[in-house]
Amino acid sequence: MLSEDYIQIVNQELDRLLVYETVFKEYTTTCHKLEIGNCYASENFERLHDYFSRNVLRFNHFVAECYRIQAPAEYTGFNQTLLTSLEAIKHAVSLMLMAIDVDGVNHTLYDSGLHEQARAHKALDAAFAAIGGTAQAM
């Protein structure tokens, strides 16, 4: 695969990642609203868990699709970091999902997922910074 094609595909996948991240952040906000009672009458932890689980399944499929992208030689390191970060995010959102119960949220588990997600983002940001610095040096 040509570098330009790879970059275009990765940019598209990163746009999709951003959508998933936005959705998962909204679930965090909804959890908080449910706990303080500032929510719609139709909202509850059971429904939130159901919606969250559907999006986790879609996200897992998205991660599997990212494994099918063939990186050119100069991007193999970045691609591996991308996949490792996506796997960490996948694990993080699974922890967050497990933390949501019919009666509430296990904050220890949920916060652990949030921290793992943040670490994965830092690794991904560092990978982007590294290829950005390489591109500027050329």
Question: 15-31 pLDDT, tens per residue?
Answer: 999 999 999 999 999 99
Task: State the Cα–Cα distance between residues 51 and 57, nearest whole angstrom.
Answer: 10
pTM for the predicted model, two decimal places? 0.88
Confidence bin at 132 (pLDDT 50/70/90): low
Task: State the Cα–Cα distance between residues 36 and 34, nearest whole angstrom.
Answer: 6
Question: For 39, which DSSP code?
Answer: S
Task: State the Cα–Cα distance between residues 16 and 33, nearest whole angstrom.
Answer: 26
Task: State the Cα–Cα distance between residues 102 and 133, nearest whole angstrom.
Answer: 47
User: Is the pLDDT confidence value at 135 over 50?
Assistant: no
Nearest to 85 by CA among 107, 59, 111: 59
- What is the per-residue pLDDT across 62-99, written as a single tens digit (0 to 9) for each? 999 999 999 999 999 999 999 999 999 999 999 999 99
List the Cα angle 59/108/22 in 5-degree steps.
Answer: 30
Q: What phi-psi label fits residue 105: left (phi over 0), alpha (psi between -120 and 50 degrees) or beta?
A: beta
